[in-house]
């Protein structure tokens, strides 16, 4: 999943794709580079970001989604917590909804997703955008994330969303300090207990900066390490900014995982030359 932030203030690429033409070109580039889907968002969730009114969020994302759809782009998700924005994005051609609040912020969101029959990503986030970065506390971070995602799934199912339409995301960096985010990556396989596809979004985030003491522009290798860790830990989707690089990471991790099942077959289908050279 490639990230397309149509915002002036996203934490790593704010302002780069606010212009609709630049955003559409970026979206097409992400597909060209190997993204299977592109996530279009119009509101930053970084600490201290101002709330964006729904009309403004719609104004940012709808023309970009419509234009990408017109260009025959692949799968598009809309990254929003507001049903009004999600509805307009789906009307413009989006295929699924990515709600970082796990259907908690807008009581209309679950019903909308149920009526439209589209898939949705439910992410774990404790509290609200204003308070979530203030001293998050957990006794057992992965146990609590899993339990709270279970509640989001129940909320979705009560509104009529089919369980098979749900994708779960532990919400790296959302109401989690660096230690919590690292623990979530380490314990990701536990999420398989919920029996749904798992998405993880570690790209360029501050837990990488804090661990490696690097600013946001220098987190590519840290992102690669985190992506490898989560793919090997069972993630089905990774949400990333640096698509060409992360496609390589994911393909190698997939080859490693498949080789455990059938080593010879994988080498053949991946066109890997036989021989035991030490390069
Ligand atoms: N992270 C961000 C935004 N949306 N959605 C999901 N499902 N998972 C994530 O981890 C996730 C997300 C934050 O990253 P970004 O969009 O680059 O930054 P900003 O919120 O500042 O626009």
Query: Quick one: pLDDT at residue 276?
Result: 55
Distance from C-alpha of 231 to C-alpha of 238, rounded to nearest angstrom = 8
* Atom nearest to 98 CA in ligand 1: 7
Residues with catalytic roles: 205, 239
Instruction: Say how many Å lie between the CA of residue 205 and the centre of ligand 1.
Output: 9
Instruction: Say how many Å lie between the CA of residue 201 and the centre of ligand 1.
Output: 7
pLDDT in tens, 138-165: 999 999 999 999 999 999 999 999 999 9
Distance from C-alpha of 30 to C-alpha of 15, rounded to nearest angstrom = 17
* Atom nearest to 11 CA in ligand 1: 21
18 touches ligand 1 (CB under 6 Å): no
Q: With residue 209 as reference, give the H or E element that holds it.
A: helix 206-212
Q: Give the number of C-alpha atoms closer than 13 A to the C-alpha of residue 191, restricted to the C-beta side.
A: 31
All domains in the chain, ordered by first residue: 2-269 (3.20.20.20)
Kindly give, in sequence order, each residue whose CB lies less than 8 Å from that of residue 256, ignoring residues fewer than 6 positions away: 232
Of 87, 47, 92, 86, nearest in space to 69 by CA: 92
Query: The tokens 């969303």 sit on which residue?
Result: 161
Distance from C-alpha of 171 to C-alpha of 81, rounded to nearest angstrom = 14
Residue percentage of the chain with pLDDT more than 70: 94
């Amino acid at each position: 999943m490639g990230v397309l932030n149509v915002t002036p203030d996203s934490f790593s690429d704010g302002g780069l794709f606010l212009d609709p033409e630049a955003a559409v070109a970026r979206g097409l580039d992400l597909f060209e580079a190997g993204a299977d889907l592109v996530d279009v968002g119009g509101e930053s969730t970084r600490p201290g970001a101002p709330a964006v009114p729904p009309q403004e969020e719609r104004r940012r994302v709808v023309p970009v989604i419509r234009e990408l759809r017109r260009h025959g782009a692949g799968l598009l998700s809309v990254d929003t917590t507001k049903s009004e924005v999600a509805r307009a994005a789906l009307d413009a051609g989006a295929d699924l909804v990515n709600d970082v609040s796990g259907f908690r912020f807008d009581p209309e969101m679950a019903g909308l997703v149920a009526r439209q029959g589209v898939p949705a990503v439910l992410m774990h986030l404790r509290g609200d955008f204003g308070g979530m970065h203030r001293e998050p506390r957990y006794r057992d971070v992965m146990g609590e994330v899993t339990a709270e995602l279970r509640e989001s799934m129940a909320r979705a199912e009560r509104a009529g969303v089919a369980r098979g339409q749900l994708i779960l995301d532990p919400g790296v960096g959302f109401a989690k300090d660096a230690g919590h985010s690292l623990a979530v990556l380490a314990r990701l396989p536990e999420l398989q207990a919920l029996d749904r596809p798992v998405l993880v979004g570690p790209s360029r985030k501050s837990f990488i900066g804090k661990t490696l003491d690097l600013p946001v522009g220098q987190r590519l290798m840290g992102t690669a390490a985190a992506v490898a860790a989560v793919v090997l830990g069972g993630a089905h989707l990774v949400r990333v900014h640096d698509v060409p690089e992360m496609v390589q990471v994911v393909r190698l991790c997939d080859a490693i995982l498949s080789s455990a099942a059938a080593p010879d077959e994988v080498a053949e289908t991946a066109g890997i030359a036989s021989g035991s050279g030490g390069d």
